């Protein structure tokens, strides 16, 4: 699978997400930022891509790239989309910043035949160590905000997300945990090891059994 | 008002013989209008900028707003002021006249050379006045389509417009989806709100309450209901701004005086400003045309023409949309734009939506608002690449 062909190399976690998307499908990227993932999907996977982004700058960047992006946010605007409108609904590094992650996930599973969620793992050992040994709210390379100014208001661990998926009746078709540089963890490792060593995880889900 | 009278006459002169190219269609092909009327002859005055490419694939249609006209990017023949959208249209601008062929017609019912209530009724040899048929947004678009046919263009690269112009953009996409590659509806709505109809009614009543309106026959009787139209413009102008913009510009500052005069003079700068806006408006606009334009907007309800479903209006529409609203626009608030975006999404259309942060109110679409200019440039450039004309 060769996805690394764009000028500035895309973030490795975006490549991992992109690899889960079937070519030629319809994709909604929720919280699409400057459109890096969407453009990767459009150019490399030939998808019909749409995005939702909160920031003015992000939307402008996307529009300038020729992407179809709506200014809005996951909490407020997903309700407007009809059932099965997309093949994939992607939430990349955004779940932890939503006000109602469970409602957002339920909408994603309703709007898309598949949902792809990537999220930082609050169970990573560095996070646990900072809380356990320093007694301070964790600040790491990938979670670089202080507690008082973080947009990330709903952190979860890999185990928490797996539990939420079960609660909303979703099936996890694929999952991968990533090392800090985006290298996948050995998939045969047990889930507790993922929860300790994975800096982030990516899940491919669908609703129902 | 001595000077003004000269200009008023100038405005009527523009209506009858405009400083613009015109398309004239005779009685063999009347325009069928929503009211049931058949209009002939039909005249459409228009301006063009730039050059049409050999494949005729680089044409951009600009639809003007209620009190706008075809003079987008040239000195206005009556006022001598710059074109109304020179921030957006011109060489090197987002709507780049070095790359695109830009067309802007005066709308049907207007007063700058297209057929309207100041045109001569062939049956009487006098100006139509209120005998001119009621115009709808769809009628305006039908007339524009005839002009586009006349120019030999099958498919427009882009249609852009704000406010009433945005209504025409939406109507174009609904009526002629195959002829619109990209659409940029700005600060607009798919239906005119009750509050906006109310404001328009105030304006119309101001015109009609002027004794010089003469039941709409002022041109025949040599009168001029300038005061009524000026009041209508003053009231409307407030709705184009925002409380914050008015406060920033005028506050409670006094006009050329240090104390209140205890009279009904224009003590406050904001009063003086509005009176000035009213006065300069009547120099270039026909009062009956104002009635027809406001009515066309009031009647606009795109969903109503498609079984009450706006999504049906845009079903299977292949046009690329960029919908723009402004945070401080209370005349066409963001929720109106979001309704358009929802309908386009439901129809599966390709749509971008931006709400621009500004305190300049509805008129922001005419002003140099950097985020808005950047968004437009990005959208046009990306659409041009997709069309293969970048």
pLDDT at residue B2 in the model:
37
What domains can you pick out in chain B, each with its CATH number?
Answer: 16-194+304-387 (3.40.50.1820), 197-294 (1.10.1740.110)
- Whether residue A133 has pLDDT greater than 50: yes
Residue B348 pLDDT level (bands cut at 50, 70, 90):
confident
Chain B partners within 8 Å of A67 (Cβ):
352, 382
DSSP letter, residue A10: P
pLDDT at residue B246 in the model:
96
Region A149-164: mean pLDDT is: 95
Q: Which of B20, B163, B242, B325 is catalytic?
A: B163
Residue B1 pLDDT level (bands cut at 50, 70, 90):
very low
Q: To the nearest whole percent, how much of chain B has pLDDT over 90?
A: 92
- CB contact under 8 Å between B322 and A72, yes or no, is no
Q: Cα distance from A163 to chain B (closest Cα, Å)?
A: 32
pLDDT at residue A2 in the model:
34
pLDDT digits (tens, 9 = 90+) for B47-81: 999 999 999 999 999 999 999 999 999 999 999 99
Tokens coding B269: 């700068």
- CB contact under 8 Å between A60 and B371, yes or no, is yes
> What contacts B315, CB < 8 A, 6 or more positions away?
B347
pLDDT at residue B5 in the model:
41
Cα end-to-end distance, chain B, whole Å:
50
> What contacts B323, CB < 8 A, 6 or more positions away?
B185, B186, B337, B340, B341, B344, B351, B352, B353, B354
Region B97-116: mean pLDDT is: 98
> What contacts A125, CB < 8 A, 6 or more positions away?
A196, A197
pLDDT at residue B30 in the model:
94
DSSP letter, residue B30: P
pLDDT digits (tens, 9 = 90+) for A76-99: 999 888 899 999 999 999 999 999
- Whether residue B286 has pLDDT greater than 50: yes
- CB contact under 8 Å between A60 and B356, yes or no, is no
- Whether residue B316 has pLDDT greater than 60: yes
- Give the pTM: 0.90
Helix (H) or strand (E) holding A8: none
pLDDT at residue A9 in the model:
61
Region A160-182: mean pLDDT is: 95
Could you say which of B342, B346, B378 has the minimum Cβ distance to residue A64? B378
Average pLDDT, chain A: 91
Cβ-contact A5, A176 below 8 angstroms: no
Tokens coding A76: 């407020």
What domains can you pick out in chain A, each with its CATH number?
Answer: 12-207 (3.40.50.150)
pLDDT digits (tens, 9 = 90+) for A21-55: 999 999 999 999 999 999 999 999 999 999 999 99
Q: Cα distance from A39 to chain B (closest Cα, Å)?
A: 12
pLDDT at residue A189 in the model:
93
pLDDT at residue A8 in the model:
54
Q: Is residue B362 flagged as an active site residue? A: yes
Q: To the nearest whole percent, how much of chain A has pLDDT over 70?
A: 95
Region B87-98: mean pLDDT is: 98
pLDDT digits (tens, 9 = 90+) for B322-340: 999 999 999 999 999 999 9
Chain B partners within 8 Å of A111 (Cβ):
none
Distance CA B266, CA B275 (A): 8
pLDDT at residue B9 in the model:
54
Q: Cα distance from A59 to chain B (closest Cα, Å)?
A: 7
pLDDT at residue A12 in the model:
80
Chain B partners within 8 Å of A70 (Cβ):
341, 345, 351-353
Residue B210 pLDDT level (bands cut at 50, 70, 90):
very high
Distance of CA B137 to the CA centre of its chain: 10
Strands (E), chain B: 22-25, 31-32, 38-39, 42-49, 59-63, 89-90, 95-96, 101-105, 120-121, 126-127, 156-162, 180-186, 320-326, 350-356
Q: How many CB atoms lie within 10 A of CB B284?
A: 20
Lowest average pLDDT, out of A19-28, A64-73, A112-121, B197-206, goes to A64-73
pLDDT at residue B29 in the model:
87
- Whether residue A6 has pLDDT greater than 80: no
Cα end-to-end distance, chain A, whole Å:
29
Longest CA–CA span in chain A (Å) reads 49
CA distances from A36 to A65, B181, B223 (A): 9, 25, 63
- CB contact under 8 Å between A66 and B383, yes or no, is yes
Distance CA A77, CA A28 (A): 12
pLDDT at residue B10 in the model:
62
Q: Cα distance from B383 to chain A (closest Cα, Å)?
A: 7
- Whether residue B118 has pLDDT greater than 90: yes
Touching B: A residues 64-103, CB under 8 Å:
64-72, 80-82, 85
For A144-163, give one letter per residue: b (16+ CB within 10 A) or e: eeeeeeeebebbbbbebbbe
ipTM (interface predicted TM): 0.81
């Amino acid at each position: 699978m060769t996805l690394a062909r764009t000028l500035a190399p895309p973030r490795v976690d975006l490549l991992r997400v992109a690899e889960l998307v079937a070519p030629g499908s319809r994709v909604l990227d929720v919280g699409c930022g400057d459109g890096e993932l969407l453009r990767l999907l459009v150019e490399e996977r030939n998808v019909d891509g749409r995005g939702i982004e909160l920031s003015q700058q992000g939307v402008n960047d996307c529009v300038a790239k020729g992407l179809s992006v709506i200014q809005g946010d996951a909490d407020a605007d997903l309700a407007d989309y009809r059932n099965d409108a997309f093949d994939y609904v992607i939430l990349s590094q955004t779940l932890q910043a939503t006000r109602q992650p469970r409602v957002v996930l339920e909408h994603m599973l309703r709007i898309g035949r598949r949902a792809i969620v990537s999220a930082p793992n609050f169970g990573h050992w560095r996070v646990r160590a900072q809380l356990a040994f320093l007694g301070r709210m964790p600040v790491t390379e990938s979670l670089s905000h202080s507690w008082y100014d973080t947009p990330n208001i709903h952190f979860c661990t890999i185990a928490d997300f797996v539990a939420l998926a079960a609660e909303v009746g979703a099936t996890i078709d694929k999952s991968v945990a990533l090392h800090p540089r985006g290298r996948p963890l050995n998939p045969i490792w047990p889930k507790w090891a993922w929860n300790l060593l994975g800096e982030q995880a990516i899940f491919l889900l669908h609703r129902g059994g | 008002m001595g000077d003004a009278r000269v200009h008023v006459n100038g405005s009527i002169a523009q209506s009858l013989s405009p400083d613009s190219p015109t398309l004239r269609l005779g009685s063999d092909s009347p325009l069928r209008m929503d009211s049931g009327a058949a209009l002939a002859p039909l005249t459409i005055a228009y301006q063009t900028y730039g050059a049409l490419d050999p494949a005729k694939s680089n044409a951009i249609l600009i639809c003007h707003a209620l009190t706008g006209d075809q003079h987008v990017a040239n000195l206005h023949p009556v006022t001598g002021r710059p074109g109304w959208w020179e921030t957006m249209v011109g060489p090197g601008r987002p709507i780049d006249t070095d790359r695109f062929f830009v067309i802007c017609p005066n709308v049907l019912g207007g007063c700058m050379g297209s057929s309207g209530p100041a045109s001569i009724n062939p049956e009487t040899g006098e100006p139509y006045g209120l005998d001119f048929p009621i115009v709808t947004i769809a009628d305006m678009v039908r007339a524009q389509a005839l002009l586009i046919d006349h120019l030999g263009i099958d498919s427009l690269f882009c249609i852009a417009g704000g406010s009433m112009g945005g209504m025409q953009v939406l109507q174009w996409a609904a009526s002629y989806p195959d002829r619109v590659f990209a659409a940029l509806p700005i600060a607009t709505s798919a239906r005119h709100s009750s509050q906006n109809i109310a404001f328009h009614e105030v304006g119309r009543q101001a015109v009609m309450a002027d004794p010089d309106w003469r039941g709409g026959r002022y041109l025949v009787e040599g009168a001029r209901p300038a005061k009524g139209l000026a009041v209508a413009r003053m009231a409307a102008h407030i709705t184009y701004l925002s409380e914050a913009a008015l406060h920033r510009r005028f506050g409670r500052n006094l006009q050329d005086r240090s104390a209140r005069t205890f009279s009904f003079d224009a003590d406050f700068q904001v009063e003086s400003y509005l009176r000035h806006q009213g006065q300069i408006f009547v120099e270039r606009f026909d009062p009956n045309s104002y009635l027809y334009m406001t009515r066309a907007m009031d009647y606009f309800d795109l969903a109503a023409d498609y079984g009450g479903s706006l999504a049906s209006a845009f079903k299977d529409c292949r046009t690329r949309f960029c919908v723009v609203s402004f945070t401080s626009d209370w005349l066409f608030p963001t929720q109106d734009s979001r309704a358009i975006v929802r309908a386009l999404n439901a129809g599966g259309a390709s749509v971008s939506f931006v709400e621009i942060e500004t305190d300049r109110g509805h008129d922001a679409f005419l002003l140099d608002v950097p985020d808005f200019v950047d968004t437009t440039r990005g959208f046009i450039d990306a659409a041009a690449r997709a069309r293969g004309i970048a």
